[in-house]
Amino acid sequence: MQHGVQIGDVLPESRHKVTQDQIDRYAEASGDRNPLHIDPDFAKETMFGRTIAHGLLSLAFLSQAMTAWDWKGWAFGGGLDVAFLGPVYPGDEVVVRGKVTALEIGENGVIAVCEVACTVEDRTVIAGTARRRLETA
């Protein structure tokens, strides 16, 4: 197929160990200081029983993987449609995977449609679709 991308291609897998320090730094950078993320005493009284990472921190791993695959096509024609399915806890390793499921031709060129997911062990914490524009040159 054109552009070197074919249906069935697998995106490079990436792995990210989440730490409480990373969650705390994300809280400061984002301004989201919800105690569920940064206060272990508060968080242990919640349904989660401990602190959890911000959903957007986990989503950033997916965006980072798409950037590593092709930063230009991602930055200038990428998009996500995902669902947050479960929490990520300090100590978890988030694994990002994706696979090209379709190639669409539109006004802005060819778009690679990818089924993507972030998992922690056997739990899927984020799943959905990512789109990336393919270069026409």
The pLDDT of residue 79: 93
79 inside domain: yes
Question: Which amino acid appears at position 2 of this protein?
Answer: Q
Structural domain including 104 reads 2-17+55-133
DSSP-assigned letter for residue 13? P
DSSP-assigned letter for residue 33? -
Average pLDDT over residues 48-64: 96
Task: Look up the pTM and report it.
Answer: 0.91
The pLDDT of residue 1: 40
User: What token pair was written down for 87?
Assistant: 């929490």
- Name the pLDDT band for 136 (thresholds 50, 70, 90): low
28 inside domain: no
101 inside domain: yes
Smallest CA-to-CA distance from 117 within 91, 85, 90, 92 is with 85
104 inside domain: yes
Assess whether pLDDT exceeds 90 at residue 61.
Answer: yes
User: What token pair was written down for 7?
Assistant: 């249906």
27 inside domain: no
CATH number of the domain bearing residue 97: 3.10.129.10
45 inside domain: no
Helices (H) and strands (E) in the chain, counts: 4, 5
Tally of domains in the chain: 1
Average pLDDT over residues 27-52: 97
